[in-house]
Amino acid sequence: MDLSDAKSLHQVDRILSHGGPGSLSEKIARFITYQELAGPEIEIIAGGGIDLDTVSQIRRATSIREFHVGRAARSSHRIDGAVKAELVSHLSHKLRHIEHEQGVSNV
C-alpha cells in the first residue's frame, strides 16, 4: 500500500515512519516527500530509534509535529527500559523551545 491508497482509507490519519535507510539528511528529505504526498489527510509520525538531537533536527527541517521516541524516553535508552517521566518532560520541553524559536505553538 502506498500513501495514495492510505489516503482513501478514512480511518487512517497518521503513519509512523523511520524515514527509510541512509543518513539523517536523506531521511529528512523523505519525510518532506511523505508529508507532501500524505497531506493534508494524513500526518507523518517520525520514529525509528530517534533521540532528542534527531527529533530537533527533524522538527527544524520539516513540519512534522509528532514523534515516536521509544528509547529516548526509556531508562538507559533501552527498548525494554521503563518509561521515565523526566525524559518525557525533557523531550517535551525541548520541543516547546524549538516551537518558540520558530514562532509556532503545536506541542
pLDDT for 15-26, tens place per residue?
A: 999 999 999 999
Residue 97 binned pLDDT confidence (cut-offs 50, 70, 90): confident
**The pLDDT of residue 84:** 93
Q: Which ranges in the chain belong to alpha helices (H)?
A: 3-7, 24-38, 52-61, 85-102
pLDDT, one tens digit per residue, over 24-82 is: 999 999 999 999 999 888 999 999 988 888 988 998 899 998 999 888 899 988 889 99
**Domains defined along the chain, listed by start:** 3-102 (3.20.20.380)
Question: Is residue 107 scored above 50 in pLDDT?
Answer: no
Yes or no: say if 34 and 7 are a contact pair by the CB < 8 Å rule. no
**The pLDDT of residue 51:** 86
Which one, of 49, 52, 60, 46, lies nearest residue 90 by Cα? Answer: 52
